[in-house]
Structure 1
């Protein structure tokens, strides 16, 4: 298989190698240069490099292919910025948000400088006039503290006088010039932004001196995290913080959600580059939304490796588009990533910030609840189809999964992934000889949609009659998958199986978007109500939450270590066995015809 562009192997390690285009390579760099473009510049010659090389720190080809994507997108964005700099010169002008950031950065820089100075010390010894100051790195001496207090008092008085006169001094002007040049921004001498910045820097110094004076009185005033670091958090960095959770015991996203968010971020980076999260706007969010809407819901192999901008140039009209709900789900994941960053304080310098991924499509009312239960006639057609009546086992159905997945869902309301990830040890026999499914996320590659999805569901008497326990008896090791072909990684196999089932359903039962495998869950809930089960009981069976915190009281850990839902297995078994589908004949599994 051809190696991905810009990826090469050298000395048993992979590296990113990006030749700069001819219109940039070796060209003189204009001044002032924004710090973001420093990676493209040869500091010795003051010209743009001819190529950019970065080690990917891995010898695994698949890992390298994932890592290189963000480098590709980031470098394309830098190249675009460099071209714009050469063509149009440095940016002229500055936004209100950038003014806010520059002012806040100045205050933080002063506080960082104060903390560094007091931590290191100065080393003054006024008892020895003329002796050179030599600090020991262990903090301030008494003479250091006295001299420093005098200096801060003087500077504080000086800056207050400037604030009172609304006339910033030369030192303020010098600080503003340095901050603007650092960003590679050129402002006209008469631009009113200069005055906004200077007055903002005066305010920042007053605030910093108030904090420093409090520190000099022994109060603890923490130094804020540098905004340069906050702005340097890109969307891929924010994704990592989101998936890591933050600390021991912190809530983490489900593995499936993390994988979907990783794929969404990869596509966003392909379109816009690995932007700093503070630079992402609603315009970026809308452009990404519209790009997603143009993509098919499933990509053929020849297209799946293409970068998003290249993919959008293809003729995709022959493929069915993804739904607005799917696009909104992807946007919601990215919105969640930035919401975590907001809680961590990365947007505090942007008081008017709003989540740029809150730009989802409005969903038609007819599409808000797309799933419907199967009718009795549809169930009859399904269970008289070739898999059930003739013992056929299509390749896409993955053996006995084709027969048992629909039946287990019909008599338990379990989700497709919950069924697919069952291990042999997850079908247990509890007190009183009751067989039950232990739906959990404790095994390798097992996951649950919500915390309330962890539950024990008695095996319905009809499943036992049809021979489910025979499948269990024929299996071997306790930790192995109950279903051959569904060993980890499970998620792609479940998706492939679901596509097969959708095609099978359309060919033999009903072809309608409201009727899918998830319809079994709706069918089961309806059957629960028809059988007179209380909401508390059928919520316990299906793993739905509701009813407030009291619903979690009374949970008991069984002898085998599993935790019930506060209702005994005996009670749940009596209730679930009340569920019946009248006038529905269900065949036992047959051997596949020779």
Structure 2
């Protein structure tokens, strides 16, 4: 009997399993997320799940299929909601200064329109009702009709101020002003009420001035703003979508993290014009982030920052200073892009207000050790490398080749995971090499200088790397992933793979916080030094960010060359 697509038998019980689409799976979710998509969200990781799972509590297939039908419909509905939440983004707040500016612009428009109307006139003839404008000011009929209209508006504006409640006309004006300014507000955002009160007062101020003009007083019209302010959210969008050929677009992961940081800043201070952001704002933001724990239960995690900080959060694990600094540096990058676009030209001596990071001692920074010879021997004598075992979390041949390539090429996990079939090449001299680049849609490098070509070590060739590439080439094109399981989006899959490798490493070789996949890179650097290679040469191999960073790779006893003891057929 054929089994329904979304059913899986596990421990003699059927489960409903629905893989989320790649455009959702593993992505950071908008905060606060809608209650309806709770099932899609992994609160601990702060991302959408990769899969929806629910036990059907039966081992009868027909019963399980009936129970799965409404879940399939619900899962597709949640996918639509999740996509909408990603597209719409988080609820945006609006700065008080922006509200004041929008209201002032409304006053200015009303007064300038009044001035233009009286200067031109309508040429109304009260006896015939005909209009014959001559452009030379108002006729007696014009002024009489206009006074009646303004008198009505005067009463309406008085009533609105007295009741502190705007008419439908005011609400329409507010909606258009917000839309024209490119501001997106959640329907429940309290800023709507603040806008309503500000526009009521602005309209009253304009009507008072127009009434005084009709009584012969000379009152100048305010100037309309000549330039548009750039809210932080707009600056973020410009930074995320670089249109310059020479500008390197940020990685999607960085964009997601910066979006989350901007959202938190907006929750605290509003969507300020970038020119109005001061170090007072950013220090308050930094200190507020320091009070937000790493992980929170859903009830707290969905709160906006000011509301969240009213709670006692002392029971939760605090956030690392480096994590906070990363958020600040991303926002500094957003403003640096705005500076290059000329948004601070009028501000003499401008300095980036987000350069307020915490001082982090060397001991607090992530510290990784190279592997010892004994640890490498244990690892490469384990089932994956000797018996050809392939565990689910290891994602097929990636379980074997990721560690081996990292050891012999000093490459980062992300660089290996994103390799395309065409990135394994042979040069004119017959030397096979790996081309680490960011040419593909889902390929990103840590820095522009990380692009490099690294010769393939003879041990990798002997272990069968080129044979694997040749076999893969029979089934895939040059721009397809080198590793079949690492289709786009690669980032979430690579992180899950790292978790698997961490468990595998701890079980078979060494269980230490300082020994991770990144230790292969340190091991390679150490071997290069012990082999007498110059700094310039092994920096070229590994694309180390700078010499200072490289100094963090400690010298240890030489490990010599190590070849995997086995390779699966």
The normalised TM-score by structure 1 is: 0.56
Kindly tell me the number of residue pairs found equivalent between the two proteins: 397
Distance 2:502 2:197 in 1: 49
For residue 255 of structure 2, the aligned residue among 249, 253, 258 is 258
Hey, what does 2:372 align to over in structure 1?
Answer: 375
Judging changes above 3 Å, is the alpha-carbon distance between structure 1 residues 235 and 513 closer, same or farther for their aligned structure 2 residues? farther
Hey, what does 1:586 align to over in structure 2?
Answer: 564
**TM-superposition CA deviations, 1:349-370 (whole Å, max 9, x none):** 4446542212211101323462
Contact 1:70–1:274 (8 Å) recurs in 2:
no
Hey, what does 2:534 align to over in structure 1?
Answer: 534
Distance 1:380 1:319 in 2: 40
List aligned pairs for 1:118-137, cutoff 5 A: none
Distance 1:255 1:510 in 2: 33
Distance 1:436 1:73 in 2: 55
Asked whether 1:71 is paired with 2:49, we answer: no
**TM-superposition CA deviations, 1:49-90 (whole Å, max 9, x none):** 7989979xxxxxxxxxxxx9952399445656878999xx99
Distance 2:411 2:259 in 1: 27
SS of residue in 2 equivalent to 1:457: strand
For residue 448 of structure 1, the aligned residue among 445, 450, 459 is 445
Q: RMSD between aligned alpha carbons? A: 4.6
Distance 1:69 1:374 in 2: 52
Displacement of 1:534 after TM fit? 2.5
List aligned pairs for 1:535-554, cutoff 5 A: 535-544=535-544
For residue 284 of structure 1, the aligned residue among 266, 274, 281 is 281
Hey, what does 2:524 align to over in structure 1?
Answer: 524
Hey, what does 2:497 align to over in structure 1?
Answer: 497
For structure 2, list consecutive stretches of 5 or more residues without a partner in the other structure: 1-33, 39-79, 92-98, 108-152, 177-181, 203-216, 548-557
Hey, what does 1:438 align to over in structure 2?
Answer: 435
Hey, what does 1:514 align to over in structure 2?
Answer: 514
List aligned pairs for 1:197-208, cutoff 5 A: none
Distance 1:256 1:488 in 2: 13
Hey, what does 1:103 align to over in structure 2?
Answer: none
Distance 1:396 1:273 in 2: 42
Contact 1:295–1:312 (8 Å) recurs in 2:
yes
List aligned pairs for 1:266-277, cutoff 5 A: 266-277=263-274
Hey, what does 2:334 align to over in structure 1?
Answer: 337
List aligned pairs for 1:31-180, cutoff 5 A: 34-36=100-102, 46=160, 47-48=165-166, 71-72=185-186, 75-77=189-191, 79=193, 178=222
Contact 1:76–1:273 (8 Å) recurs in 2:
no
For residue 411 of structure 1, the aligned residue among 408, 413, 420 is 408
Hey, what does 2:486 align to over in structure 1?
Answer: 486
Hey, what does 2:321 align to over in structure 1?
Answer: 324
Asked whether 1:427 is paired with 2:541, we answer: no
Distance 1:338 1:329 in 2: 14
SS of residue in 1 equivalent to 2:454: strand
Displacement of 1:420 after TM fit? 0.3
Distance 2:565 2:292 in 1: 42
Distance 2:439 2:448 in 1: 12
**TM-superposition CA deviations, 1:234-287 (whole Å, max 9, x none):** 111111222333544344434443343233223323443322223323233233
Distance 1:262 1:352 in 2: 28
List aligned pairs for 1:240-251, cutoff 5 A: 240-245=237-242, 247-251=244-248
Hey, what does 1:25 align to over in structure 2?
Answer: none
Hey, what does 1:559 align to over in structure 2?
Answer: none
Contact 2:423–2:434 (8 Å) recurs in 1:
yes
Judging changes above 3 Å, is the alpha-carbon distance between structure 1 residues 485 and 35 closer, same or farther for their aligned structure 2 residues? same
Displacement of 1:504 after TM fit? 3.7
Contact 2:385–2:565 (8 Å) recurs in 1:
yes
Judging changes above 3 Å, is the alpha-carbon distance between structure 1 residues 319 and 34 closer, same or farther for their aligned structure 2 residues? closer
The normalised TM-score by structure 2 is: 0.58
Asked whether 1:477 is paired with 2:476, we answer: yes
Contact 1:440–1:447 (8 Å) recurs in 2:
yes
Contact 1:73–1:273 (8 Å) recurs in 2:
no
Contact 2:452–2:543 (8 Å) recurs in 1:
yes
SS of residue in 1 equivalent to 2:185: helix
SS of residue in 2 equivalent to 1:433: coil
Judging changes above 3 Å, is the alpha-carbon distance between structure 1 residues 383 and 398 closer, same or farther for their aligned structure 2 residues? same
For structure 1, list consecutive stretches of 5 or more residues without a partner in the other structure: 20-32, 56-67, 91-169, 183-225, 548-579
Contact 2:398–2:483 (8 Å) recurs in 1:
yes
Hey, what does 2:390 align to over in structure 1?
Answer: 393
Hey, what does 1:202 align to over in structure 2?
Answer: none
Judging changes above 3 Å, is the alpha-carbon distance between structure 1 residues 490 and 458 closer, same or farther for their aligned structure 2 residues? same
**TM-superposition CA deviations, 1:94-149 (whole Å, max 9, x none):** xxxxxxxxxxxxxxxxxxxxxxxxxxxxxxxxxxxxxxxxxxxxxxxxxxxxxxxx
Displacement of 1:494 after TM fit? 1.8
Contact 1:271–1:308 (8 Å) recurs in 2:
yes
Distance 1:227 1:398 in 2: 57
